[in-house]
Amino acid sequence: MRDHLAFRLAYRGTAFKGFQFQKNVVTIQAKVEEAFARYFKESRRVHFGSRTDAGVHAYDHFVYFPKAFELYTALGVSKRKSFLSSLNFMLGNDIRIWEFGRLSSNFNVMEDIVSKSYSYFILSSPVEDPILTEYFHWIRHSLNLRAMRKAQRQILGTHNFACFAKSSGVSVRNSERGTTRRIYKASIVSRLHPQMKIGQILEFKFEGSGFLRHMVRNMVGTLVQVGEGKGTNIKSILRSGSRLEAGPNLPANSLFLTGTKIRAGLYAPLRPQTE
């Protein structure tokens, strides 16, 4: 069986109508397939294990073109050297492949993505930051960090996350695994704004087996309610399975897909070296 050609993508979500192909709009999938087709002069569908929503950014979106590794190996030495920069040139300014590699033909997208990580960024400050504003959700008041951390720990482990999914939940037809996911790690990194010296920069971090649509934004929206002193009980929200029990869906512009872990032994990066 022929191996796959895999890419790790970084992109600025603001420039796209989300990841997945849709007719007549600019999506990340469409851009990546278009660049591939221009470079190799043949059309292929890209495969992926994550679909970021419109406006969500990524530093580590893992995608692959099935059985395409041989297209890369067939290139001459000088084409292999410039492969990454040529493809990146074709992708325009808002997407970058920062690593590519060989992915085993044994890879199974449902089983071999060990985890994904997301970060949600909030500036909690009486004054907004005009420079960070594209990537930070601004909350004018201060938040109770201790209460939010305590609530966030209740998200750890395996749960039915229907309450945090878009609308009343994802139908089982749309997702083989239904709405059950496992959260391995969750934390909140907090620091004083390094320049303005007022307000806190908060990074809500999650690593899990997978995430439903809007799940991170809804979880952070619920944790913010806790931080505001509203008597929100995460355990009972999870048990209820109802979207109506959870907090508001926060804006997409402050969410980043930051990591995709692949089962060891299946993926070998050909990391570009600084010249």
Catalytic residue among 3, 53, 94, 112: 53
Provide the minimum distance between the beta carbon of 196 and a copy of itself in the complex, in angstroms, as a whole number.
5
Q: Which is nearer to a copy of itself, 32 or 234 (CB)?
A: 32
- Give the DSSP per-residue string, 214-251: THHHHHHHHHHHHHTT----HHHHHHHT-GGGS-----
Summarize as ranges the residues that interact with a copy of itself (CB under 8 A): 10-12, 57, 59-60, 84-85, 88, 93-99, 124-131, 133-135, 140-142, 195-196, 198-199, 258, 271-275
Q: Which is nearer to a copy of itself, 169 or 259 (CB)?
A: 259
Q: Which is nearer to a copy of itself, 88 or 240 (CB)?
A: 88
177 Cβ contact list (under 8 Å, min separation 6): 110, 210
DSSP 3-state of 254: helix
Provide the minimum distance between the beta carbon of 175 and a copy of itself in the complex, in angstroms, as a whole number.
28
Name the amino acid, one letter, at 102: R
Q: Is 53 a catalytic residue?
A: yes
Provide the minimum distance between the beta carbon of 105 and a copy of itself in the complex, in angstroms, as a whole number.
26
Provide the minimum distance between the beta carbon of 10 and a copy of itself in the complex, in angstroms, as a whole number.
6
- Give the DSSP per-residue string, 117-147: EEEEEEEESSS--TTTTTT-EEESS---HHH
Q: Which is nearer to a copy of itself, 212 or 226 (CB)?
A: 226
Question: 261 has which bridge partners?
Answer: 115
Give catalytic residues, as residue numbers. Answer: 53
